[in-house]
Amino acid sequence: MGTAKKMKSALISVFHKDGLEAIVKKLNDLNITIYSTGGTEKFITNLGIDVVPVEDLTSYPSILGGRVKTLHPKVFGGILSRRDHEGDIAQLNEYEIPEIDIVIVDLYPFEKTVASDASEQEIIEKIDIGGISLIRAAAKNFKDVICVSSMKQYDEFLNILSDNDGKISLADRKNFAAKSFAVSSHYDTAIFKYLNQDFNHVELRESFDHSSTLRYGENPHQKGFFFGKLDELFEKLHGKELSYNNLLDVDAAVQLMNEFKTDAPTFAILKHNNACGIAQRETLHQAYVDALAGDPISAFGGVLISNKKIDIATAEEIHKLFCEVVIAPAYDDEALKILKGKKNRIILIQNDIELPKASFRTALNGVLSQEKDTITDDITNQKHTTNMHPTQTKLEEL
């Protein structure tokens, strides 16, 4: 576990106050001195708990509309000082800088502000400066300091604090430091991607702060993970967990059906990332029957996807086939009952959200990236390169 250290002081500066009350009360119970500023300071004061305003520590007020509050040597000196370094200790004493053992930060919600269609000025104001600086400083000095860098970490931190009577091991401090740099790197990536929308800086910056551990990768001896918010795209109604190979097929299915999202009833069956069959007909039932006819043998164990609500007639046909996954925008109640007849069959509702505009994959010792192919073939833009031209009926079928 490494050296456990008794925590004596904490600096708290958070945007979201949810879940903070229990931590503040535990810090108070452990006689840990609390420093804070702005809205967080008011929150702690309203709990009836003593708190030292950062302005009292720095002898400097919050300025520039709150843009500069904690950016001060008396704050960062207390965080970055090496407790086993004689020179650092001497300077802390010389300049009357208190050691800060715990830093709790929750950054301004930059990504949520971008997603809310706020103005550019509102978005820029949500680029956190003091908070991100506190995170980097505290995480760098994990040998002496623990950094709680997101409200998602509150419960874990509170348990550690409570279980060990205010002592925190080096292993825990280092673990939280790793989490902190994950938070800061994700935050900076989001800012870069926002600012780079109107320019052409060819830099690959992708970051996902949600992950799922899969049963295994392509084969049982391989580890597998999915990074992203899958629950934003799908509502799972039934069945086992999606596997690595399922997700590859589901991705291919979603990308294919995206071309027919608003078209007449269309059904596709995919296996190993390829379409076994796809058909567009006047009814969904007929579209499924004809899609299955494309390759009924390969369809076994495949992924099925529809661009319309699945009705009873279609569900009865689907139920005759062993399939891993069924995807649709909706299901009739009776159709859903039929499809749930197979315990492991995965049934998904696909939500109408915008898909990424670019794709990337590892290749050799790097990454390949390209824009998604969003151009759907159209009768009007076909070129006939032979003397014999297809009929209008054949063109429509194609």
Its sign, for the CA torsion 154, 156, 158, 161, is negative
Q: Tokens for 95, please give them.
A: 């300049």
169: left (phi over 0), alpha (psi -120 to 50) or beta: beta
Which is nearest to 332 in space by CA: 347, 351, 321? 347
Which is nearest to 336 in space by CA: 357, 358, 311? 311
Q: Which residues contact 210 (CB under 8 A, 6 or more apart)?
A: 227, 228, 229
Q: Annotated active-site positions, please?
A: 140, 272
Which is nearest to 253 in space by CA: 272, 280, 231, 229? 272
Which H helix or E strand runs over 250? helix 244-257
Which H helix or E strand runs over 93? helix 86-94
SS3 369: strand
> Taking the CB of residue 239, how many other CB atoms lie within 10 A of it?
19
Which residue type is seen at 97?
A: I
The Cα-based distances of 2 to 8, 90, 161, 289, 337 in angstroms read 19, 26, 16, 64, 55
The whole-angstrom separation of Cα 53 and Cα 50 is 10
The whole-angstrom separation of Cα 307 and Cα 188 is 37
The whole-angstrom separation of Cα 365 and Cα 379 is 41
The whole-angstrom separation of Cα 171 and Cα 143 is 9
Interior angle at CA 293, CA 289 and CA 299, nearest 5? 95
Residue labelled with tokens 């991100």: 132
Contact between residue 46 and residue 61 where contact means Cβ atoms under 8 Å apart = no
